[in-house]
Amino acid sequence: MAIPKFKDMERTYGFDEVALVPGDTTINPDQTNIDFTLGSFTFSIPILAAAMDAVVDPNFAILSSKLGGLAVLNLDGIQTRYEKPEEVLTEITQASDTEVTSLLQKIYSQPIKENLIAERIQAIKQAGAICAVSLIPANTKRLAPVTKEAGADILVVQSTVTTARHISKSYRGLIFSELCQMVSLPVIVGNCVTYSAALELMRTGIDGVLVGIGPGAACTTREVIGVGVPQVTATMGCAAARETYFKETGKYVAVITDGGIRIGSDLCKAFASGADAVMLGSILAQAKEAPGKGYHWGMSHPHPALPRGTRIKIGVRAPLEKLLFGPTSVTDGTENFIGALRTSMGVCGALTIKDMHKVKTVIAPAIKTEGKYFQATQGMS
């Protein structure tokens, strides 16, 4: 008797489980092109700073723009709830481990002030930087006009999981096609992890999707509610949606891998999985200029009843410019991310990010374990 199957389960993969295969041609790293285009904007590096309070404040956004990237300012956090966010940030970093979640729950229960939204955006724009801001879906209809008015260039609508259709009794679901028409700005929406959800979002007219549920260093979504798709599989699914949508319409929607990137190799693998850009949280929170002062916490962390994040101590590592471009003397992939990307592209024979999408990728979970037979003195764990 054949036993009926209850459901099929597909194998998925994360960064640690794959490796990139060198090409049959190699290219000098300095000849690679890593431009990233979103709407009418072109960025010289394909890196976005995450809309998290430990990562981006107006000064960090200005610096990111100068260095060729893009930082997203979180309009649902401390910057728009408090006149003087520095004091609140200090309070968070000084809290003990046992009390920090309660403290965050309290801090994030303060109301958002519209005047602060305008103020933060204008601070970024006045410095000549490109300004991207993020809203949560429930606030978007109300606050998107305010951000547009204040001069924001790019709008990000972001929550743990965002779909084109949301069922709620407390507010009418956000209609992304209406939003796109209303703001006439490039709109990025996330997060999503599947072909079908990404494709449905793309069909609303948005310009980019954020990919990733549960993988970030400061996120415990997978532990708490069991939901998550590892980033290699998630990025590949959304990239396949981009290809489908491009064939349907000729419009190229950016796929941005968000979360789970810890070291250079992860970043390189995100592009080989189909990403057009990556969004970095905990890595950039380690920059000298980041507001988190050596700490990082997830934006699902302050949930009043079911927090799904942790505050992690990450330390202050180096100025943002050095983190991104090196040079470095560390050997474990935690600095010089752009150098790592260009070198990876070089040995894989990829001139552009789109070439990188085609690089052969293999399942290679084997981790080096030489430590067993030698006594490592540096950088090996």
Subset of 303-342 contacting a copy of itself (CB under 8 A): 304-315, 326-334, 336, 339-341
Instruction: Tell me the C-alpha distance between 36 and 41, whole Å.
Output: 8
**Considering beta carbons, is residue 65 or 160 the nearer one to a copy of itself?**
160
Instruction: Tell me the C-alpha distance between 265 and 102, whole Å.
Output: 35
**Considering beta carbons, is residue 143 or 267 the nearer one to a copy of itself?**
267
The answer to whether residue 374 forms part of the interface with a copy of itself (CB under 8 A) is yes
The answer to whether residue 249 forms part of the interface with a copy of itself (CB under 8 A) is no
325, 64 contact by CB (below 8 A)? no
Interface map 7-36 toward a copy of itself (x if CB under 8 A): x-xxxxxx-xxxxxxxxxxxxx-xx-----
* In the complex, minimum distance from the CB of residue 128 to a copy of itself, in angstroms, rounded to a whole number: 29
- For residue 90, what is the enclosing H or E element? helix 85-94
Residues 6+ apart with CB under 8 A from 288: 316, 317, 318, 319, 320
Interface map 351-370 toward a copy of itself (x if CB under 8 A): x------x-xxxxx-x-xxx
Instruction: Tell me the C-alpha distance between 232 and 191, whole Å.
Output: 15
Residues 6+ apart with CB under 8 A from 249: none
Report the residue from 233, 290, 292, 320 that binds a copy of itself according to the rule CB under 8 A: 233
Interface map 175-204 toward a copy of itself (x if CB under 8 A): -----------------xxxxxx--x----
Residues 6+ apart with CB under 8 A from 200: 163, 164, 165
Report the residue from 182, 225, 316, 318 that binds a copy of itself according to the rule CB under 8 A: 225
* In the complex, minimum distance from the CB of residue 58 to a copy of itself, in angstroms, rounded to a whole number: 25
**Considering beta carbons, is residue 23 or 39 the nearer one to a copy of itself?**
23
Only segment of 51-59, 65-73, 157-165, 180-188 that touches a copy of itself (CB under 8 A):
157-165
Instruction: Tell me the C-alpha distance between 147 and 257, whole Å.
Output: 24
Q: Which of residues 74-103 bind a copy of itself (CB under 8 A)?
A: 97, 100-102
Distances (CA, A) of 100 to 107, 160, 291: 10, 21, 17
* In the complex, minimum distance from the CB of residue 191 to a copy of itself, in angstroms, rounded to a whole number: 9
Instruction: Tell me the C-alpha distance between 87 and 328, whole Å.
Output: 33
